[in-house]
Amino acid sequence: MHQPAITGSGVFTPALSISNEELVVAFNAYADTWNAANAPQIATGAVEAMAHSSSDFIHAASGIESRFVLDKDGILDPDTMHPWLPERSKDEISVMAEMGVDACRKALDMAGVAASDVDAVICAASNHERAYPAIAIEIQQALGTGGFGFDMNVACSSATFGIQAAADMVRSGSIRRALVVNPEICSAHLEWRDRDCHFIFGDVATAVLIERADDAKGPHFKIKSTRCATQFSNNIRNNNGFLRRTRDGHMDDRRDMLFMQNGRKVFKEVLPLVSKHIAEHMDDTGVTAPNLKRLWLHQANKTMNDYIGKKVLGRTPEDGEQPNILQDYANTSSAGSIIAFAQHSDDLAPGDTGIICSFGAGYSVGSVIVERAS
Ligand code: COA
């Protein structure tokens, strides 16, 4: 058995971003147009007028201030309200693979590892641009890695479930190195015309390199233990694919293809599930709150993270103990906890322990206990 470790991490951040204020202007213009078009039915009470969104509500309810996106014009055009991602020919790299390759290269550079020394690419994400061939295999080809690649999806928990799969393979010796990559085009599966959720998501890609701790060329994080759990729920659901769209598609035509959630229920049901999951994982591995230096949590909602942090540590986390990145990135599905890890882990000292934890649709929850090593 070999000790697996995370030796590199990388984040691809799109060049474009949308502030809450910009988003609300577009939504409210769309709502006004919709209300004008439906004025007769609204007047008779047959349909309800669409209410305006507000940036104050968005910030207070979620902690989100801005989000990065692959396309801004389509999302902010009140007549379109979804990203325009130009179709690519078969000879061009696909969008998810392109984002993923960027994040993987950063992870490989950090670890000082050549792509040709990687044996597996796991593309773990909430939505895959196509069913096959696997995005992971396209990334494998673009990077020039060896071995194999496959795609997997456990929604927002995809990254930690992917880390468990890769860590187990490294531990057993079936592979020596794996890239776990999480390209998330959340903007294409969000309904930007739904006031309840139009502010939730952003686009990003993250990657981690997992290899034997003995092979690490610099500071790294030993993967001490991983734990995954699922429990069926319809409260976060995508009924259909997400990239099929028509320019003039009516809301009903595309609503079923996009993200849906019962946010309040998610809030109430997922919080106890996650807090209990982390507490039991810590108990079973002998990690106590006083020796836990950092929590890198899934980035969906600030209130949720504050609650989990307090439950796990038994006190309000101090600045930096439970870093949030959702104010800048919004919810980036599986990538959220890995952005937090990549951007807020350098300062830990050898021997320090932290937990990466993701949670979301399924329901699903995954936790990875890591220890800093030099
Ligand atoms: N602008 C202004 N007001 C809004 C609004 C918007 N964009 N969206 C909803 N509201 C209103 C609602 O109409 C409601 O008004 P009412 O009380 O008069 O009925 C009120 O604000 C509260 O709405 P609600 O949806 O219950 O808000 P919330 O406090 O639960 O926050 C979420 C919404 C989505 C931020 C929150 O539920 C959440 O984060 N849930 C968990 C999400 C999650 O983790 N999902 C996983 C995704 S992968």
CATH number assigned to the domain comprising residue 267: 3.40.47.10
316 part of a folded domain: yes
What residues contact residue 161 under an 8 Å CB cut-off, 6+ apart? 124, 152, 154, 228, 364, 366
Strand ranges in the chain using DSSP code E only, listed in sequence order: 4-12, 16-19, 66-69, 120-124, 148-152, 177-185, 203-212, 220-230, 236-238, 259-261, 292-297, 353-360, 364-373
Q: Cα dihedral angle (260, 261, 262, 264), rounded to 10 degrees?
A: -140
Compute the distance from residue 320 Cα to the ligand 1 centre, in Å.
27
**Residue 147 has what pLDDT?**
97
CB 220 less than 6 A from any atom of ligand 1: no
User: CA 81 from chain center: how many Å?
Assistant: 22
Distance CA 79, CA 251 (A): 11
Taking residues 257-262, report their average pLDDT.
Answer: 82
177 part of a folded domain: no
Helix 135-143 × helix 95-111 angle, to 10°? 50
Least confident of 97-111, 186-200, 262-276, 342-356: 262-276
CB 237 less than 6 A from any atom of ligand 1: no
87 part of a folded domain: no
Phi, psi dihedrals of residue 14, rounded to the nearest 5°: -60, 155
Taking residues 224-245, report their average pLDDT.
Answer: 83
74 part of a folded domain: no
**Residue 251 has what pLDDT?**
47
Taking residues 39-62, report their average pLDDT.
Answer: 97
Q: Which residues are catalytic?
A: 156
Angle at 301 between CA 298 and CA 306, to 5 degrees: 85
239 part of a folded domain: yes
Which of 128-137, 148-157, 257-266 shows the highest mean pLDDT? 148-157
Asked whether the beta carbons of 136 and 225 are under 8 A apart, the reply is: no
Query: Residues of 157-186 as b/e, b for ≥16 C-beta within 10 angstroms?
Result: bbbbbbbbbbbebbbeeebbbbbbbbbbbb
Reported pTM: 0.94
With a pLDDT cut of 90, the percent of the chain lying above it is 89
CB 241 less than 6 A from any atom of ligand 1: no
Range of the domain at 265: 222-373
Domain count for the chain:
1
325 part of a folded domain: yes
Q: pLDDT per residue over 331-367, tens digit each? A: 999 999 999 999 999 999 999 999 999 999 999 999 9
**Residue 371 has what pLDDT?**
98
Residue type, 16: L
Residue minimizing CA distance to atom 21 of ligand 1: 57
Distance CA 302, CA 308 (A): 10
Would strands 220-230 and 236-238 be described as parallel, antiparallel, or unpaired? Answer: unpaired
Rg (CA), the chain: 21
Residue 3 burial (C-beta neighbours within 10 Å; 0-12, 13-18, 19+): middle
Sheet containing 364-373: order of strands: 148-152, 120-124, 177-185, 203-212, 4-12, 220-230, 364-373, 353-360, 292-297
Q: Calculate the alpha carbon distances from 220 to 135, 148, 255, 372 in Å.
A: 27, 24, 43, 6
What residues contact residue 90 under an 8 Å CB cut-off, 6+ apart? none
CB 127 less than 6 A from any atom of ligand 1: no
Q: Cα dihedral angle (40, 43, 48, 54), rounded to 10 degrees?
A: 100
Helices (H), 87-157: 95-111, 135-143
Comparison of pLDDT for 207 and 254, the residue scoring more: 207
What residues contact residue 174 under an 8 Å CB cut-off, 6+ apart? none
Ligand 1 pocket mutation pick from 27, 268, 301 by most atoms within 8 angstroms of CB: 301
Compute the distance from residue 301 Cα to the ligand 1 centre, in Å.
11
Asked whether the beta carbons of 9 and 205 are under 8 A apart, the reply is: no
**Residue 131 has what pLDDT?**
87
Distance CA 331, CA 364 (A): 16
62 part of a folded domain: no
26 part of a folded domain: no
Would strands 120-124 and 259-261 be described as parallel, antiparallel, or unpaired? Answer: unpaired
What residues contact residue 145 under an 8 Å CB cut-off, 6+ apart? 115, 116, 118, 119, 120, 121, 139, 179
Ligand 1 pocket mutation pick from 234, 242, 264 by most atoms within 8 angstroms of CB: 264
Structure tokens at 36: 């004008």
Asked whether the beta carbons of 327 and 305 are under 8 A apart, the reply is: no
